Amino acid sequence: MKLSTHVFQRISDQGMPIVSVDNPLASLELSLFGGHVLSFMPKKDNRQRLWMSPKAVMDGSKPIRGGIPVCWPWFGAASDGNLPAHGFVRDQMWQILRVDDDQEQTRIQLQPERAYLNPGQEHLDLMLELLIGEQLTLNLITQNRQAHSIRFGGALHSYFRVQNIDHAEIQGLSGAYLDKVQDTSAEQTPSPYLISSETDRIHVNAVSQASIIEGEQQAVTIGFKGHDSIVVWNPWQEKSAQMADMTTDGYRKMLCIEAAITQGIELAPGQSHILTQIIS
């Protein structure tokens, strides 16, 4: 089904709606299950920016491993142990609100079927806006239409493709971070910043840009706005082997660097907040 000049929708072999963008500047695939970007490839170099697990479950029975999962309205474990980690929009269907094209980019706006858990929370809105051109901009927009303030968190949990994790260096991050593997705080960012073991770090020095450098390849640059933290994650060998939707060596081909709200943001009635990640 054609949605615009450069945007098409199809049903996958697993029965899930997939949106494909192919404009003069880039191609992208998006699953409407989870509002989940699966791939992004600028045509200036035809290099895939995102990693997808070969064992990712694509039938809607669980969140998708790889690409860019949307974590909202919390990041990590929920305060209520009965609720899912990373919020409740990763495993529901999203609907498209708007699609349009111009010479510079394609715009897609979509929202989850529901942005609340309990009755009385219906006035909390969430929208994801994708701007697809030479770079990919993701704007995760939270709007509070309730009569009282709310506190929320989230992340754009981006899995970047690397050739070999041993040689992938992160540049642009500095200062202290919280190490969730060692359960320690105030660890200092290494230089050079290489990954050599299980890594789950929350960088509280919320810089506006970071890069992945790998040999002679052009750097992948990630811009951030509206965040209070940057998360760096790689499950490494032992944890990968324990994950049903990861291959045992999948950790060697991926690196997560994420615009995140881990400390929580207070949103007053009538206010909106935009969490942005820009990939080029």
The catalytic residue positions are 157, 258
**What one-character DSSP code corresponds to residue 255?**
E
Residues 6+ apart with CB under 8 A from 203: 173, 175, 176, 177, 189, 229, 230, 231, 232
Please tell me the distance from the alpha carbon of residue 10 to that of residue 120, in angstroms, as a whole number: 35
**φ, ψ at 82 (rounded to 5°):** -85, -10
**DSSP code per residue over 150-177:** EEEEEEE--EEE-S-GGG-EEES--SEE
**φ, ψ at 3 (rounded to 5°):** -100, -30
Rg of the chain's alpha carbons, rounded to an integer? 18
Please tell me the distance from the alpha carbon of residue 249 to that of residue 108, in angstroms, as a whole number: 34
Contact predicate 139/129, CB 8 Å:
yes
Distance from the first to the final alpha carbon of the chain: 28
Task: Identify the sign of the CA torsion 17, 141, 221, 263.
Answer: negative
Contact predicate 70/88, CB 8 Å:
no
Q: Quick one: 131 exposed, middle or buried, by C-beta within 10 A (0-12, 13-18, 19+)? A: middle
Query: Edge-to-edge, what's the strand order for the sheet holding 209-213?
Result: 94-101, 106-112, 124-132, 136-144, 272-279, 220-225, 209-213, 169-171, 193-194
